[in-house]
Structure 1
Amino acid sequence: MAEPSNLKDEAKRSLIFTYGTLKRGFHNHTLTQDLISHKDAVYVGDFVTHQPIPLVIGPHGIPYIINDLPGSGHRIKGELYAVTGPGLARLDDLEGIAIGHYERLPIQVVRNLSDDDDVVSAEAYFAHRSFGHALWERNGRESLSEYSEIEGRRLVYKPDHSRSILEDVSLFLAGASDGK
C-alpha cells in the first residue's frame, strides 16, 4: 500500500481518520485545532473510506461508524490527521476509549472515490462493539455517507450529567425518549 508523499514526514505519528464532530466546522474540532496549534496534529487532507462502512447517528446526534458489517453502509467522507502520542491520548480521552464509548480501530482510506490504488492505513473511532450492531439496527440499517452540517445541527449537549454517555446509549437503544 502506497502512502501519499506528505505522509512520509509524519511517520512517527498515528494517522487518525475523523468523520464526525472532530472535523473542521464541527463542535469538537476545537480539540483538533488545539492539537494543531501545539504541534500535536497535522491536517493531511480530505479522505474517504476505502470500503463501505455504516455511519449512524446515536443519542444526542452523536455520529458513530460501526465495525464488522462487511458490505453495509457507504464509503464515508472525512479528514485525515497525523497525530503525536500525546495528541492521541487527548483524542482517546474525548472519545471515551477507557469507558467503552468508542474503540480506536484500523481503517483504510483513500484521497478520493476514484483512487483505489493509493490506500492509506489509519485508525478511526468506531462505536464500541458492545453496542455498535444495536445502533445499526436502531437506525433501521440505514447509513449516512457523511456527517454533514444537517446532522451536526442535531448534536445536543445534555445539561443533565447525572447519566453517563453509555447510559444514554442504552436508553437510546431501548427507544426511550429522553435518550433522544
Structure 2
Amino acid sequence: MAAINKQANTKLIFTYGTLKRGLYNHALMKELMATHDASFVGEYTTVESFPLVLGPYGIPFLINLPGSGHRIPGELYSLSGRGLARLDELEGIETGHYERLPVNVVAEDGGEVVAVEGYFAHRNFGEALWRKSGEKGLSEFSEEMGGKYVKRGNRPLDYNFVDDVWKFISHS
C-alpha cells in the first residue's frame, strides 16, 4: 500500500465503481497517473455501510444513507486539483449526477480510519434509487457487473442523464 499523500494541494478520493482498476473508466485514472495528477493509494473499504445500487446503463451509485446496505470495498487515490476537476467532470458534479461527499474508509489490511471523499448519487434521486432496488444493495461493484456498463458513446444520442435516472426509477 502506498503512503497516503496528505499535501495541501491534493484530495483523497474513494472510488467504488467504474473508475476502479479493470473497469471501463479506469482509463481516466491511468491518464491522470501518467501526468502525475493521480496516484493509487491502496484498497480501502467504507467504515460505515452504504447502499450501492445499479442504475440505468449499468451505472453504479453509492447512496448517502449511512447504516444501510454494506461496507463497500474500493480504491483510494490521491488527486491534484487538475485530476479532481477531471473526475468531477466525469461524475457530473455540476449537472446533478453525483455529489462528492465525505466518507471514512479503512485500508483492507487494517490500519487507521481515513477521512476522504467519494461520489454519491445526487440527493435529488439517491433515496429513490434505493427504494427502486427494494432496499437491497450490492456488496461491491465487480468486473462482472462492469460488463453491464453502457459507455456514454453507446447511449441514445438524445439521452439526458438525470431524466433517464428518473425514468429508470419510475419504470416497474
- Shift of the 137–9 alpha-carbon distance from structure 1 to 2, 3 Å rule, reads closer
Distance apart, 1:154 and its partner CA:
1.1
User: Hey, what does 1:153 align to over in structure 2?
Assistant: 147
Aligned length: 170
The one-letter code sitting in structure 1 at the alignment partner of 2:133 is: N
Q: CA deviation at 1:93?
A: 0.2
Deviation at 1:33, TM superposition (A): 0.4
Q: Does 1:16 align with 2:1?
A: no
Distance 2:54 2:148 in 1: 9
Percent of pairs with identical residues? 51
Q: Is the Cα contact below 8 Å between 2:5 and 2:78 reproduced in 1?
A: no
The structure-2 alpha-carbon separation of the partners of 1:10 and 1:46, relative to structure 1 and needing over 3 Å to count, comes to farther
Output aligned runs, 1:1-180, within 5 Å: 6-8=3-5, 10-67=7-64, 69-112=65-108, 115=110, 118-157=112-151, 158-175=154-171
Q: Any gaps of 5 or more consecutive residues in structure 2? A: none
Q: By how many angstroms is 1:95 displaced? A: 0.3
Mapped partners of 1:9, 1:101: distance in 2: 28
Residues 133, 22 of structure 1: CA spacing in aligned structure 2 closer, same or farther, 3 A cutoff?
A: same
Q: Is the 8 A contact 1:10 1:82 kept in 2?
A: no
TM-score by length of 1: 0.89
In the TM superposition, what is the alpha-carbon distance from 1:164 to its structure 2 partner? 1.1
Deviation (angstroms), 1:10: 4.3
Amino acid at match of 1:145: S
Q: Where do 5+ consecutive residues of structure 1 fail to align?
A: none
Q: How far off its partner does 1:12 sit?
A: 2.9
